[in-house]
Amino acid sequence: MQSIEVSWNEAEIDSLQISAALKTAFHEAVSDGKIIYTPTAPIAYNHWRGLFYIAIDLATGSATYAIGAGLNGGYTVVEAWPNGLRDFFRQLDHSATVTAQIISPTANTTYRKGDRIHWIANYQVVSPNTHWTEDLQLDTRQASLGSNTLRAGYGSVTSVVVRIVEEAGRIGTIHPKYDKEIRENGTKYGIPPGILKAIIHKETQTDRIFDPRTSRYEPKRDYEDFSGPNPSIGMNNLPFSDYTLAGKNTRGATTTDGSRVASLPRDYRTTLKNTGNGGWQLRGIVITDRTPNNATSTTVAELYANDDDIIGSGSQGWPAFGIPAGFTGNFTPQFLISSSYGLGHVMYPEATETKDPQGNFVMKSHHGPHDLVDDAELGIEAAAAILKDKFRGLVSNDDCAGWSQAVRAYNGRDSYRDEVCRIYTSNYK
């Protein structure tokens, strides 16, 4: 390995077994005050033969790493991590004393096989005075399980030990996008990950499957909890009062927009519009307000009419489970606080009450209804917390990992339990 750094040994460039063009490039670099580190001739490395060099700029601390006589890293040698060609560069010893400070990763951090390790190291050379930072993404796919020592390069002796554990497997063979989050929350709440994934599959299959950007208004819950004559929760209680919508309730009282409605990440009225026009749709039903340009005038009766007019048979089945038979009044739907949201289609009132195994609320004070959609992991954890809260013990021989009772309680219907258990057995067991 040859170090060429000042004019008195610049003549050594001409003795190197390299191309004339590269010699010229070396002369220009040294004249600019750079240090060149290079082999004296091309080398063989695995199935590759060629030349590489490092040019360090003393003024700025920046460095050029060239592989293949100036191809700037254009050739890759495949070898077991972390001893690839780039790392071969870094492990070369140099005459100057190089010290290193490893910023990332920190000692004893655990990574799953397949993760990338963000490596950041600051290097310092006292004489000549120069410094630079190395910022890399290290691939762990070929790493050994257990403790691995990552060593800084350029002759420094600094190192850090990290731990590599087995890669988390997929939950089934389909729809893997949120498998990591589902597995983590299944472990956290003691739920078989396949059961939690089967519930998400069921809840999203009538929309864009495994897409968190869905919501569904529940008129019966609105009537019972907020807008009806004897509400069980009421609109004046926090956090629900923050998200009420202007209009009328069943008692004829005026309601106003809550204090946080205007600051929502999107206009709540887009919930009423076709997703093809850039808005959201209520799950399984597309609504066009019957009073254009005045969405706040929408009433439950209008929603009924739209459901029947556009879908035909009424996709949400509201006449079967909706407002009590014979009710002739009307009210402004409280979409924000009476809808289910996200991957688990969690009702907002229930989401505000969920707690983790340590007794901490899952939904924090700054979280609003739309966060269950915008933060997919939050929606998954809320669903896991609710499911675990429904669990009363394992059921024998139920083809649902013993969770059939909790699955039924999650929705309240036998047919729901049967479908989720079927999805679990067929896809995620």
Q: How far is 424 from 400, CA to CA, in rounded Å?
A: 7
pLDDT for residue 189: 93
Residue 174 forms part of a structural domain? no
Residue 134 forms part of a structural domain? yes
Q: Are residues 273 and 371 in the same domain?
A: yes
Tokens of 218: 């529940």
Q: Are residues 317 and 289 in the same domain?
A: yes
Q: Are residues 290 and 156 in the same domain?
A: no
Q: How far is 383 from 346, CA to CA, in rounded Å?
A: 6
Residue 235 forms part of a structural domain? yes
Q: Are residues 141 and 191 in the same domain?
A: no
Q: Are residues 60 and 103 in the same domain?
A: no
pLDDT for residue 267: 64
Of 167, 189, 210, the domain-final residue: 167
Residue 91 forms part of a structural domain? no
Of 137, 167, 197, the domain-final residue: 167
Long-range contacts of 182-190, Cβ-Cβ distance < 8 Å, separation of 24 or more: 182/380, 185/377, 185/380, 185/381, 185/384, 186/384, 188/356, 188/357, 188/381, 188/384, 189/356, 189/357, 189/384, 189/385, 189/387, 189/388, 190/357, 190/388
Q: Are residues 185 and 332 in the same domain?
A: yes
Q: Are residues 144 and 199 in the same domain?
A: no
Length of the chain: 429
Of 167, 195, 218, the domain-final residue: 167
Q: Are residues 245 and 222 in the same domain?
A: yes
pLDDT in tens for each of the 429 residues of the chain? Answer: 455 554 445 677 887 777 787 788 888 887 777 777 777 666 665 555 666 777 776 555 566 666 554 333 333 333 333 334 444 445 444 455 788 999 989 888 888 777 788 888 888 877 667 777 877 778 787 788 788 998 887 778 899 999 887 766 788 888 988 998 998 899 899 999 999 999 999 998 866 789 887 777 788 888 889 988 889 999 999 999 999 988 888 888 888 889 998 888 766 555 543 333 333 344 333 344 444 444 445 676 666 665 544 444 444 544 444 566 556 667 888 888 998 888 999 999 999 999 999 999 999 999 999 899 889 999 999 999 999 999 999 998 898 999 999 999 999 999 999 999 999 999 998
* Structural domain for 6, as ranges: 1-77
Residue 356 forms part of a structural domain? yes
Q: Tally the domains of the chain.
A: 3
Q: How far is 422 from 144, CA to CA, in rounded Å?
A: 38
Q: Are residues 220 and 280 in the same domain?
A: yes
Burial class of 44 by CB neighbour count within 10 A (0 to 12, 13 to 18, 19+): exposed
Q: Are residues 403 and 288 in the same domain?
A: yes
pLDDT for residue 290: 42
pLDDT for residue 372: 92
pLDDT for residue 168: 66
Residue 113 forms part of a structural domain? yes
Long-range contacts of 326-331, Cβ-Cβ distance < 8 Å, separation of 24 or more: 327/223, 329/250, 330/248, 330/250, 330/299, 330/300, 330/301, 331/222, 331/223, 331/227, 331/247, 331/248, 331/249, 331/250, 331/299, 331/300
Neighbours of 6 (CB within 10 A): 11
For β-strands 346-347 and 339-341, DSSP reports them as antiparallel
Q: Are residues 281 and 394 in the same domain?
A: yes
pLDDT for residue 181: 92
Q: Are residues 134 and 46 in the same domain?
A: no
Residue 332 forms part of a structural domain? yes
